[in-house]
Structure 1
Amino acid sequence: MEEKRSIGDGVWYLVLLAWSATILFPIIWIFYGSLKTNREFFQDVWRFPETLNWVNYSKAWNEYGLGDSLLSTLYYVGASLVIGTLLTALNAYVLTRVEFRGRKLIWGTIMLSLFLPGINALVPQYILMRDLHLTNSLTGLVILDSIGENVFFLMLLAGFMQSLPKEVEESAFLDGASLTRVFVSIMLPLSMPGIVTVAIFKFLGLYNNFLGPFIYLSDPDKYTIGVAMYQAGLKMQFSADWVTLMAGVSIAMIPSVLIFVFFQRWIMEGATLGAVKG
Structure 2
Amino acid sequence: MEERRTLMDWVWRLLLLLWALSIIFPVVWILFQSLRTNAEFFQDIWALPSKLHWSNYTKAWIGYNVGQSLVNTFYYVGVSLVLGTLLTTLNAYALTRMQFRGRTFIWSLIMLSLFLPGINALVPQYILMKTLNLTNSLTGLIILDSFGENVFFLMLLGGFMSSLPKDLEESGFIDGASLFQVFWRIIVPLSTPGIVTVAIFKFLGLYNNFLGPLIYLSDPSKYTIGVNMYQANMKMQYTSDWVTMFAGVVIVMVPSIIFYMLFQKRIMAGATMGATKG
TM-score by length of 2: 0.97
Deviation at 1:73, TM superposition (A): 0.5
Deviation at 1:171, TM superposition (A): 1.4
- Aligned counterpart, 1:65: 65
1:156 partner letter: L
- Aligned counterpart, 2:6: 6
What secondary structure sits across from 1:238 in the alignment?
helix
- Aligned counterpart, 1:192: 192
Distance 1:268 1:236 in 2: 37
Distance 1:97 1:227 in 2: 40
2:240 partner letter: A
- Aligned counterpart, 2:164: 164
- Aligned counterpart, 1:32: 32
- Aligned counterpart, 1:109: 109
Deviation at 1:273, TM superposition (A): 4.1
Q: Deviations over 1:20-64 (max 9, x none)?
A: 111111111111110111111111111110111110001000000
Distance 1:276 1:116 in 2: 26
Distance 2:217 2:126 in 1: 12
Distance 2:73 2:160 in 1: 30
Q: In percent, how many aligned pairs have the same letter?
A: 69
CA RMSD for the aligned pairs? Answer: 1.2
Deviation at 1:203, TM superposition (A): 0.7
Distance 1:171 1:272 in 2: 31
Distance 1:157 1:243 in 2: 43
- Aligned counterpart, 2:153: 153
Aligned pairs for 1:47-126 (under 5 A) are: 47-126=47-126
Aligned pairs for 1:13-24 (under 5 A) are: 13-24=13-24
Distance 2:196 2:15 in 1: 30
Q: Deviations over 1:141-188 (max 9, x none)?
A: 000000000111111111111122222222112211111111111111
1:271/1:185 Cα in 2 relative to 1: closer, same or farther (>3 Å)?
farther
Deviates more, 1:160-169 or 1:223-232: 160-169
- Aligned counterpart, 2:228: 228
Deviation at 1:10, TM superposition (A): 1.3
What secondary structure sits across from 2:235 in the alignment?
helix
Distance 2:169 2:29 in 1: 52
Say how many residue pairs are matched: 278
Deviation at 1:272, TM superposition (A): 3.1
Distance 1:97 1:16 in 2: 41
Deviation at 1:268, TM superposition (A): 2.3
Distance 2:277 2:65 in 1: 48
> Contact 1:64–1:228 at 8 Å: present in 2 too?
yes
Q: Deviations over 1:91-128 (max 9, x none)?
A: 01110111111000000000001111111111111111
Distance 1:57 1:274 in 2: 41
Q: Is 1:253 matched up with 2:232? A: no
What secondary structure sits across from 1:115 in the alignment?
coil
Structure 2 unaligned runs (5+)? none
Structure 1 runs (4+) greater than 4 angstroms displaced? none
- Aligned counterpart, 1:42: 42
